[in-house]
Amino acid sequence: MNTFLGAVGDLVEDVVVQLRETVNIASDTESVVTRRRGGSAANMVEAACRAGGRARFIGQVGEDAAGRWLVEQLHAVGADVVVRQGGRSGTIVVLVDPSGERTMLADRASCTDLDQPEPTWLDGLHTLHIPYYSLMGEPLASTTATLAAWANVRGIRVSVDTSSAALLEAEGATRALERIAALRPQIVLANELEAAVLGEGLHPERLGGATVIVKRGSAPCNVTEAGSPPVDVPALTLHQVRDTTGAGDAFAAGLLLALADGDDVVTAVGRGHSVAADTLLRSR
């Protein structure tokens, strides 16, 4: 497989707190704490590389030891890394409850400082993937919009993941949909919570004909292509999943690799489920 995907956005340190019990407010709670590389765009790139594809991360990290370590982690999985260094590296505290559900406390730090994009960042790419996080915070948001415009001119597929129901709700559905549509994406990904916030506007007719894919965890994934009725694609059944961090990004990697290889969208969704499952099983 020689497919080259790219993603623009965050590369941060995740401090993962796996709760062994319900949080005891103002007291102690038994937990297991680990540190690892994180960031939605970086997660997608790593998953694509692990799945046998080629992928490039585009973003900014701090000019510090954490930043150097984060870049080394991406190089270690075979990623191509286009990164600026300046300021301090971002950190996300990920609280994982006993059921595996996540709550994230984010300090993106220098991630949003990426500016002065260069056309060469897109060289060789088949697809440019954009998490909605990359549309929040300047100058990163403007940099991302510029890269998307260049990608469209050059015939590079643009995909957008809506990323965060909380961000979308704070932005407002109308404004969020306008931001997404302005990127002229061919693929838009959302989970159930994000889809609920965006409502009826999350539809190909409102997004310039983009294929809309709504992920539903262990339930079937819903696919709506322009001019066609929605189709449900079954997910894989997994048991005792403790941490869902990165699963949506891995789904995007598998999906986009399959589409780049010429698969139809239903087949590609199946590949997305497979790569996401690999990520979930590895996190056990």
Domain CATH for 263: 3.40.1190.20
- CA distance linking residue 101 with residue 193, whole number of Å: 13
The bridge status of strand 91-96 relative to strand 12-19 is parallel
Cβ–Cβ < 8 Å for 84, 140: no
- CA distance linking residue 29 with residue 21, whole number of Å: 7
Percent of the chain with pLDDT over 70: 94
Compute CA 249 distance to the chain's CA centroid, rounded to the nearest angstrom.
4
State the CB neighbour count (10 A cutoff) for residue 20: 10
Cβ–Cβ < 8 Å for 279, 250: yes
State pLDDT tens for residues 92-108. Answer: 998 988 877 778 898 99
| Total domains, the chain | 1
Q: Is residue 50 part of a domain?
A: yes
- CA distance linking residue 179 with residue 96, whole number of Å: 30
Q: Residue 284 has what pLDDT?
A: 43
Domain with 270, as residue range(s), is 4-9+39-89+111-282
Cβ–Cβ < 8 Å for 258, 234: no
Q: Is residue 20 part of a domain?
A: no
Q: Residue 245 has what pLDDT?
A: 62
The residue ranges of the chain whose pLDDT is under 70 are 1-3, 237-246, 280-284
**15 sits in which H/E element:** strand 12-19
State pLDDT tens for residues 109-162. Answer: 999 999 999 999 999 999 999 999 999 999 999 999 999 999 999 999 999 999
Model pTM score: 0.90
